[in-house]
Amino acid sequence: MYLKVRRNEGITSILLFIFNAFLTEKQVDELPLKTILRILAPFNKNETAVRMGLSRGVQNGLLINFKKENEVYYRLTDQGRNALRYWWNTIRIFQQRAALQREEWNGKWNAVYFPAGAAEELALSLRKLGYGSVERHMWISPYDASGQVSALAAEIGMAESLYLFLGELAGGRRLAEIVTEMWPVEELNKKYKDYIAGLKHAVGELDTGPPRGGAVLPFLHKYGLQIFGIMQEDPQLPLQLLPPDWSGLQAVLLFMETRKQLLPEANAFIADTIDEKG
């Protein structure tokens, strides 16, 4: 699964963020339209845009609308809740692999081969596990994930056509050459660096602006989605295999620290808005 919305600033994306960050832990999975309009006010969305965006969310199966006490409500569907679980599962896996990144690498490579004509589903799963592609049917990783790969292959009926190898690099090739051929590490590093610069600049503007209140919501939504998108591309290779100025862990840590600082203000705004009458 991959959480997709039409635009990062789309109404469905924003509402999923609101539920994810502030409401589901309080067992709130539905809101009246009038409250949604108030919560989304800091995003500068007019009522027409909000109604159209909510309609798209219903069409996409992430939301359901219904009437209660003469008011229109919107509730997360099972698909919408699954999207939020996918978010948190991705964060959890990233944190686990971040710890693994910092450990001393043993120099072993895990290689996976499956014959031509085999399902592309396995290739997609290997990429999500951080494997790099030598060619269409040969994938490698500096981590031994052969147990997970075998289980995935069994699920899609490929257990008998899969070949797994574990060994060391030979032939005089430099590790940096292998890494840059298999994974877009330079491109990812640039994305992380650009993200850090953008986030720091935005934090400075936020600190010098008027009383923030709900203004922190668009900030958290924008930069949360940006870092989440980069994280999903990151194979999280051992730090020994990455450029000396690798900025991935720094970027994620910077966002998490910034988020921690801003959450009390955001929570206060959400609580006041939900409690507001009329």
> What are 265-272's contacts with CB under 8 Å, separation 24+?
265/212, 265/213, 265/216, 266/21, 266/22, 266/214, 266/216, 266/217, 266/220, 267/22, 269/42, 269/213, 269/214, 269/216, 269/217, 270/18, 270/22, 270/23, 270/39
* Torsion sign (Cα): 163, 169, 174, 179: positive
pLDDT average, residue stretch 93-98: 92
Out of 6-15, 52-61, 107-116, pick the least confident.
6-15
Going from N- to C-terminal start, the domains of the chain cover 108-168, 184-275
Q: How far is CA 76 from CA 55, 269, 276, in A?
A: 13, 21, 22
Which pLDDT value is given to residue 85?
A: 92
Using pLDDT thresholds of 50, 70 and 90, give the confidence band for residue 118: low
For residue 2, which amino acid is it? Y
Q: What is the pLDDT of residue 1?
A: 35
Q: Is 114 in contact with 93 (CB distance < 8 Å)?
A: no
CATH architecture for the domain at 108-168: 2-Layer Sandwich (3.30)
Sorted by sequence, the CB contacts under 8 Å of residue 15 that are 6+ apart come out as 36, 40, 53, 54, 57, 63, 74
- Residue 29 CA to residue 49 CA, distance in Å, equals 22
Assign 3 a pLDDT band (cuts: 50, 70, 90). very low
pLDDT (tens digit, 9 = 90+) per residue, 175-231? 888 899 899 999 999 999 999 999 999 999 887 666 677 889 999 999 999 999 999
More confident residue, 172 or 60: 60
Contacts for 159-162: CB closer than 8 Å, 24+ residues apart: 161/114, 161/115, 161/118, 162/112, 162/113, 162/114, 162/122
Q: Are 250 and 258 in contact (CB under 8 A)?
A: no
CB 63 within 8 A of CB 16: no
- Residue 7 confidence (pLDDT): 45
| CB 141 within 8 Å of CB 110 | yes
Mean pLDDT of the chain: 89
Neighbours of 130 (CB within 10 A): 19
